[in-house]
Amino acid sequence: MTTAILVVPTEQRVGLTTVALGLVHALDREGIPVGFCKPISQPHASDTGPERSTRLARMVTSLNPPEPIPVSEAEKLLGHDQENVLLEEVIARYEQAAHQASVVIVEGLVDTEEQPYGTRLNAKMAQSLDAKIIIVTAPGRDTPRQVADTVEVIARAYGGIRHDRMLGAIINLLDAPVDQTGHIRFDFSRAENGRHPGHQAEYRVECARHWPESFKLLGCIPWERELSAPRVRDIMQLIGAQALNEGQLNRRVTHVVLGASTLVNSCQELRPGAMAIIPGDRDDLLLAICMATMGGAHVAGVLLAGGLKPDLRVWKLCGPALDVGLPVLTMPYSTLQSVLYLPHLNLEVPLDDRDRMQQAVEAVASHVTLDWKEPLLTRIEERRLSPPAFQHTLVERARKANKRIILPEGNEPRTIEAAIICHQRGLARCVLMGDGGRMHRLAARRGMSIPPDIEIIDPTQIDHRYIDAMVELRQHKGLTPGLAEEELHDSVVLGTLMLQLGEVDGLVSGAVHTTANTIRPALQLIKTAPAVRLVSSIFFMCLPEQVLVYGDCAININPNAEDLADIAIQSAESAKAFGIPPRVAMLSYSTGTSGAGSDVEKVKEATRLARQRRPDLLIDGPLQYDAATIKTVAQSKAPDSQVAGRATVFIFPDLNTGNTTYKAVQRSADVISIGPMLQGLNKPVNDLSRGALVEDIVFTIALTAIQAQQAAEQQRERR
């Protein structure tokens, strides 16, 4: 039986959709099958196209919620006294969303001047769906006591705060800047969040004092300036400006700087995220802003007021800043008129701003509690590890591991940013190798700063210390001190040696270096783990519904049957270690005995060997990919298989097949792939794709930290 949770507001502008989708994300990353439904549309006057909540859900989740009932149709049924028919349509859409879900988050309606029936319909939907209820509110200018009272009043429409249907309330947009009417406004005059650190505790105390124990405060979500920051393009659309240089129109605007003072005083305000509004004839200020941009200030953009454009000679001098993406806009209004437009900016997330919506949803998910979920879940068979659940698991386990991970490519901008993110999220203690001064300059150009807690090592200053250790490890291969010194000039070699000596816990490289350059030092210095014949790799493929394991897609070109068996066992163990129940499919172009040929025979033999070595694992093959993944195909091609139709680990017969398949799936289906993660080494070394995104590097660092913890535990067991 699926549980419905209806999320309802106390009033307009409480961020109802963001909170509803945040709850979806929080449940999803816990591995709980979850659905989403907005049964009845409630468009804004400016909305066009698909219903807003449904469209945002499709954008930031893997779900495909049903289309809601148009509000015009709902009002027509209500006008003809056909409320029951309307509720039948609501239930029909809910059942679509509830397919294979244990919990469905249902977004309720908001009372407005145009639709004053929202709360009444919410109560009817709660009854029809037998739904639990979460109330969402925003304090505005209210005190904690007033907020608690407001929630209690709204709860009366649903049977009262003590009704067994009521789960609790979520306070959103805590400490948001508001006007005299209590409506949230964006204060462009400052860049700080201005959060009061004690307010959450005040609300929790006051709510606990006035609410019964059964009705809980489920979360306090603080207002964050970055989550409300518009893009340059949003301001451009609001005021009808034209672009003299489009640049990067997706840059975030956190505050406005008015170029109404002297050059020196104006430039002092050019912090990251600043939108500079200056008269179009202030060539001096425009040049100063461009110089600041080149110096790493990361200004969001420039708005030239008064309809004036810079002199062509000045514009030419601005070229370097324009080339790196500085947006420059122009409009006919004065500076004052431009500023007066800004308070009218719509603070709702634009439907094309995926990044901002994802960040907002993540913020909600990180601030809500799910203590209430267990009694509501009546059927969860096998834990489904969805991509959010998998990534959440990685983050939590990496934090607990608290490992020291060395990054030999410290002069690479993506690596620097990944190290900063890992530091901020507590995923690992990253060690950057390279030129410290250069690193700080590269970080500044991205609008970031390297925290002093991140260790920076200049390899040119320490490599001579490791000559003796290098010679000792490789003297059987004829390595001399001179040759050792030369090899240690390679930061990957030096980092790998530090790993072998126990000075760090893991290594991540490959954003610049080739796979061979990353793996070769590891094989020479760290070597393979006991009872391991070869090093292999896997990718964690984050498909919409679950995470699968692909191996080997990066290392072994043409493995024989024994190699394939090793890869299968290693991959199964890796899957198990990361919470994925291993059901291993040995892939081929034929299933069972339907085909013949040397390639098929190799897979058959590999399957036999793997089963012989590990009878405790579910391994089957040869299987075609469709037979391994689709239940209906499995029933006809491999009806007796315990793996077919439900495989989670896929072993490819060779590198050509594996690498081609993983990249085809990744690019064609827009799937996140984490890896490659290397298997079989004594200590964790992981290789990156040279096209790796910052997010890829972050998760690879997290993987490496977890591997380091696992390796330490295995060493203790062997002792």
Per-residue pLDDT reduced to its tens digit, 389-400? 677 778 889 989
Q: How many angstroms separate the first and last alpha carbons of the chain?
A: 49
Digit-coded pLDDT (tens) for 642-690: 999 999 999 999 999 999 999 898 888 877 788 788 998 889 999 888 8
d(CA 361, CA 366): 9
Report the mean per-residue pLDDT for the chain. Answer: 87
Angle between helices 515-525 and 491-500 (to 10 degrees): 30
pLDDT of residue 692: 80
Digit-coded pLDDT (tens) for 690-708: 878 888 899 899 999 999 9
Q: Let me know: does 416 contact 410? Beta carbons within 8 Å.
A: yes
pLDDT of residue 367: 93
pLDDT of residue 381: 45
Q: Are strands 328-330 and 242-245 parallel, antiparallel or unpaired?
A: antiparallel
pLDDT of residue 251: 92
The enclosing H or E element of 484 equals: helix 481-487
Digit-coded pLDDT (tens) for 604-618: 999 999 999 999 999
pLDDT of residue 192: 57
Average pLDDT over residues 137-159: 93
Average pLDDT over residues 401-421: 93
Q: Is 414 helix (H, G, I), strand (E, B) or coil?
A: helix
Where does the pLDDT of residue 484 fall: very low under 50, low under 70, confident under 90, or very high at 90 and above? confident
Sheet of 583-587, strands arranged across: 618-623, 583-587, 649-651, 547-551, 536-542, 672-679
Digit-coded pLDDT (tens) for 80-95: 878 877 888 898 899 8
Where does the pLDDT of residue 262 fall: very low under 50, low under 70, confident under 90, or very high at 90 and above? low
Least confident stretch, 210-224, 419-433, 531-545, 596-610 = 531-545
Beta bridge partners of 69: 40
**Helices (H), ranges, 295-406:** 312-317, 319-323, 335-341, 354-367, 387-401
Where does the pLDDT of residue 301 fall: very low under 50, low under 70, confident under 90, or very high at 90 and above? very high
* Better-predicted residue by pLDDT, 44 or 432: 432
Where does the pLDDT of residue 377 fall: very low under 50, low under 70, confident under 90, or very high at 90 and above? low
pLDDT of residue 567: 94
pLDDT of residue 264: 64
pLDDT of residue 196: 59
* Better-predicted residue by pLDDT, 570 or 270: 570
d(CA 305, CA 282): 10
Q: Is the pLDDT of residue 332 over 70?
A: yes
pLDDT of residue 599: 85
What is the residue-wise DSSP string for 111-123? --SS-TTHHHHHH
Check residue 342 and report its DSSP letter. Answer: G
Ranked by mean pLDDT, the top range of 106-110, 372-376, 623-627, 631-635 is 106-110
The enclosing H or E element of 404 equals: strand 404-407
pLDDT of residue 48: 61
Digit-coded pLDDT (tens) for 278-297: 888 888 889 989 988 888 78
Amino acid at 440: H
Q: Is the pLDDT of residue 312 over 70?
A: yes
pLDDT of residue 616: 94
d(CA 253, CA 186): 11
Digit-coded pLDDT (tens) for 485-530: 888 898 999 999 999 999 999 999 988 888 888 888 988 898 888 7
Q: Of 251, 301, 309, 303, nearest to 283 (Cα)?
A: 309
Amino acid at 352: D
| Burial call 233-256: b when 16+ CB within 10 Å, e when fewer | bbbbeebebeebbebebbbbbbbb
Q: Is the pLDDT of residue 191 over 60?
A: no
Contacting residues for 591 by C-beta, under 8 A, at least 6 apart: 622, 623, 624, 627, 637, 638, 644
Least confident stretch, 269-278, 360-369, 493-502 = 269-278
E strands within 413-468? Answer: 429-433, 455-457
> In which residue are the tokens 């995926």 written?
354
pLDDT of residue 238: 84
Q: Of 39, 68, 74, nearest to 51 (Cα)?
A: 68
**By percentage, how much of the chain surpasses pLDDT 70?**
93
Where does the pLDDT of residue 591 fall: very low under 50, low under 70, confident under 90, or very high at 90 and above? confident
pLDDT of residue 38: 96
**By percentage, how much of the chain surpasses pLDDT 90?**
45
